[in-house]
Structure 1
Amino acid sequence: MKTGDNQREPSVVDARGLRMRYGSTDVLNGVDLSVGRGEVVALLGPNGAGKTTTIEILEGFRTRSAGDVRVLGVDPEHGDEEWRARLGVVLQSWRDHSRWRVRELLSYLSLFYAPYREGAFDPDELIDLVGLTDHVDHRVGTLSGGQRRRLDVAVGLVGRPELLFLDEPTVGFDPEARREFHALVRRLTGTAILLTTHDLAEAEKLADRIVVLVAGRVVADGTAAELADRIAGKAEVRYRLHGSEHVVEVADSTRYVRELFAEHGEAVDDLEVRRASLEDVYLALVRESELVSA
């Protein structure tokens, strides 16, 4: 799923200056966003940041106020059925008839893609991909939460989409179901994915790139490591020396520790080097952006 270090695949999502206004309230304020072919991008942000609005515009479900948007080379406002067949959408939840059986449901849905997508998934191939082989004849209403989420993904993948939208995919999952879902997403090689999530660990595990949206603006865009370097380049070094505790922020922790031991040797005790986690970076970005907009 990851793109090369020096060359990014052509964009399947390209939004420039995206704006959305409801009355006198600006929900999006000039959002720039791109997703490369085969890339996994996580859209992070607090409630009200504009994540859902952004996704709905890209999916063609909402009309933007301003900006230029291309998804798979098409303006979503003018996307036709053939264009929609190239997308996959997995919502937080969706209602269906619980009496459908797994294979029966996917076989039925695949019929709608036949006029547009010659390479649509064979239902049994798709069932195997999402790990529901043992449940092909089970009714949807009898599936567990994790199994049901796998089916949701299968529904989004029926047409073998070039771009898959995942909206808060693991909300309410227990740890085991979350691990299983993450493993499933990692198997979707070649499919570009744009996911929204509040789970920072999930973003770090799944995404090639993380975009942080705060108050309708993109405040950061990069890998987890790049964001950490940008926001919190210093590391925190904690240690005890001659019975006293010391906490020091340094730019080069390796050099500092080497010099510390060269000078004090075995007198240094309880050494701990702490670098910024994605959570530290995210919270710093949100606080910084909220102070600017206040």
Structure 2
Amino acid sequence: MVCALGAAVCFGTATVLQAMAAREAADAGGGGDTALLLRALRQWRYLAGLGLDGLGFLLQIAALRSLPIYAVAAALAASLAVTAVVAARLLRVRLSGVEWGAVAVVCAGLAMLGLASGPEGHRSGSAALKYAMPAVALGVLLVGAAGGRLRGRNRALLLGLAAGCGFGVVEVAVRLIDGLTPTALFTNPATYALLIGGGAAFLLLTSALQRGSVTTATAGMVIGETIGPAAVGVVWLGDRTREGMAWPAVVGFAVAVAGALALARFGEAPAEQSLTEQPQRKAAGTAKP
């Protein structure tokens, strides 16, 4: 659980640092998204954010190898609470009383999950599940391609939901990888699911944030990366709670995800202006791996 919470802290802090760097890059001159990204890459804050993303991903993998997927997924969604708190400090973004309440709700939900979570499931996953995951990852790409043709909130919601499903594929695939030798990795379909799902999620979420409502896209992402993977962990991988703690785990999961959804506008650490007014001011790449 420490690794899962550490990953959330890394991802949430990285978002703010990357947003600060992207804001400076945007103020330094015009140009398209590519020019903005290149200028942001010269900012130490953006590079520090990328480093935190990498560290967070390693902590996420470590957590998934020892905790049920539902606990890790809820903790990662809580990175929005970290972003909100850090943004309030560094970007001087004002949080309303409701948003501070949502931060407290997320913390309460995670505390309940931490007390109720048992060890990771004992099942290694069937061969059918391992082969199904690459198919799901490819399906995410197809849904994203279709969603890219939509406009407005529907586009942002579908792309965000597809991106969340892609991140969910990564969560499940990590549990299905049962060996780290080159032979074990290259012959395991879950490895390819992890690569395809992660890459698709990154691209789709970036697209959703650039040309759609950040709040809508992030809400879709949170739903996609928590509910489905949690169900797979319970049904197919044997994830369970401690004895007699099933209901606290369910309530904690629901509370943590609900609190994260209430903080969805911090999916891309905001400037003082409305997020929907400037969705393209930040560099592509604030999505988390």
- TM-score tier (shorter): under 0.3
TM-score normalised by length of structure 2: 0.25
Higher percent of residues as helix: 2
Q: Name the larger-Rg structure.
A: 1
Alignment TM-score, normalising by the size of structure 1: 0.25
Which protein, 1 or 2, shows the higher relative CO under an 8 Å CA cutoff with sep ≥ 6? Answer: 2
